[in-house]
Structure 1
């Protein structure tokens, strides 16, 4: 039996069903590159039997997102649409042998993409886009509906669990009160339905948001684009999640061929090298005041296709948080360009 780290690593380094499915008649797209994760699920469904005959995916995200997307396509093959709709995000995580709490949002993204694809095939309206007034987390574009579905499907009872499964609250935490409100409301409903005990249900005010900030250990807080929290110290996989994330771009979405394949899927812009350098410099200028405040700096050295070569200086050199700083710089540049790139530091 595979253990957690082996199977996630296998589906990351050797993803199956990655790419474009030309014969797809059911497509579901969720997430956004600017928020750090995006997934396009494509399925070929037999119109007579509604059996899923083929499935492929394109994703932008961390190693766990790639592994979860790949696993999803394996799970749904050969199933009818009704059978596929019964699949939960926990089924995806279980197929991989488990995911750490802070990466469960990757399995939720797969679940949401599947729901969207089935709705697309049936001509129904399904969207993870928020309606006006329903947006809860601006940092990651998470609405009330997504939180409610995650809470119900996984019996979540803490704000921290909501963040792990949806990323809501994983950035600035200004949405904490709204997360609390949705969680408490849904838990109350679940108690009434006999799905939770009264003692298990969350109550507003039970958690001090300041304790979550201290516990989160963010990878970086550069500019206005938050990044995912690092893996907890008590649960370190054999191959680190950070290592998977660093390699993720190079494996699935970075490189001229992969980038070109992804562009028609989610409308990525195309730039000349000069235009790209200018936008990257603008992103670095926005980041620079934060780095200089801590005695460091980041300089653009070169742009080689989808690789952005940078050099850290000052206090950033040799700092234990250097890799986290690079991840933050990458997030900022991706948000500025709107296309996947990999930031590579040099000495």
Structure 2
């Protein structure tokens, strides 16, 4: 197997459909064994490897003899707790057979929203990979509440890749690559091998679903969102077949397997990646054309004079979306005023703010250091 010249940071996500045996839900041990062998070889080549693994819920259901996924939050959390322990036991047994140490890392959305916990998470991953350990990551389903869930492990893996500044994100799924539609039902569906810009997919009018299936269309919708996050952070991404994890090594060696996404040439820095991807926006600011141009092309801060409309309720230091008059998001940022204050000062010059509010405030609504552009918009 060809090797890559320099050590790289690799985040690998494997989905439930690849980890389990179809309708039975039992673990696909041969696939997991190949995955473990592949990741261990990559570690032996000095690559820094992080695995994001689904499957806890499915394993828990089988372990408890459930015929369908639970519906209530409490039951989901209990079943995930059972499955997570069993899944980690399998991973530990297989990695230990190859003398490869692993670690379990469970994350919640709030771990990445709060800046101090975000930085601490980064340091933990850095220390683990420096020690030659493979972290195995999953969402902490046993404590996460619905409002603060990542939604799926595709998103989680992209956020982890952005957090650690990965070189590659590999999404292992139940299809060999991205298709323009479900090839089982659309005879004219064609494979997509390379995506240089995500806007190309809009031109292709790709058909994706929003729920999982054996073909993985639900995964495709979330995988495209993962691609948006990863490529905006300057990370290469590939979608390839989970049953053949050895494809990771082939892709690293230059083989055109799966669907590969090129990174954005001008990615945001680490702080702005945190703002763009980890913070959940709680409101929207609509901007006039002059403000949009100043932000996009001039790298300027957002002033109150450029705001035409304010929606949502938020506090100072919350994250908001910055949109043009058509509602198209152009950036995200951390505001220096709450929503009530912005309703009063929108459209005002900075020197008018003290008179309107009755007290001194910041000159900027969103300082440029706290503003992250949408990469496709610049």
Shorter-chain TM-score tier: 0.3 to 0.5
Compare CA radii of gyration and give the structure with the larger one. 2
Normalising to structure 1: TM-score of the pair? 0.33
Greater per-residue helix proportion: 1
TM-score of the superposed pair, with normalisation by structure 2: 0.31
